[in-house]
Amino acid sequence: MNFAMASDVAAQPHIKAGKLIGLAVDVESVVLPDVSTFAKQGYPQVNLLASVAFLAPKGLLDATAKILTDAIRKTVDDPKLKENLKSRGYNVDLRTSAADLNKLVKEEIDKYSRFTPEDLGWKAQ
């Protein structure tokens, strides 16, 4: 038996074709509504959401950073884009400061550095 990890969006066509079975998703999914979340299955500590970050070179002028940030915010806030992403199962949580990104990265490192099968209550068989 083989197992694979994929986003709900990437897995959806394979599940619909009967090539994969959806075992769990991180959060309620509009594209896989019949697949239960890890939390509902008793594993609330599992959260494997993917993040995307826009990065710029160190020393970028504040004025340039503001132009880029405003353009990204305007794009992500577009109602048509938001609806398109939502209908395809994507959740958008825009954080626009370096401090926000640094906090997120630190939280993810802290979380995954102690993520073990024992944390989930899994035992070797």
Domain ranges within the chain, ordered by starting residue:
1-48, 51-125
Token pair 């970050």 is at which residue? Answer: 53
Amino acid at 37: T
Architecture of the domain spanning 1-48: 3-Layer(aba) Sandwich (3.40)
- Reported as a single tens digit per residue, the pLDDT across 57-115 is 999 999 999 999 899 999 989 999 988 888 777 777 787 788 888 898 898 888 777 76
Amino acid at 51: S
User: Residues 22, 35: contact at Cβ < 8 Å?
Assistant: yes
Integer angstrom CA distances of residue 64 from 60, 90, 99, 100: 7, 28, 17, 19
- Reported as a single tens digit per residue, the pLDDT across 21-31 is 888 888 888 88
Q: pTM for this structure? A: 0.58
Which residues, 6 or more positions from 68, have their beta carbon under 8 angstroms from its beta carbon? 54, 56
- What angle (nearest 5°) sits at the alpha carbon of residue 30, between those of residues 24 and 31? 70
**Whole-number pLDDT of residue 64:** 95
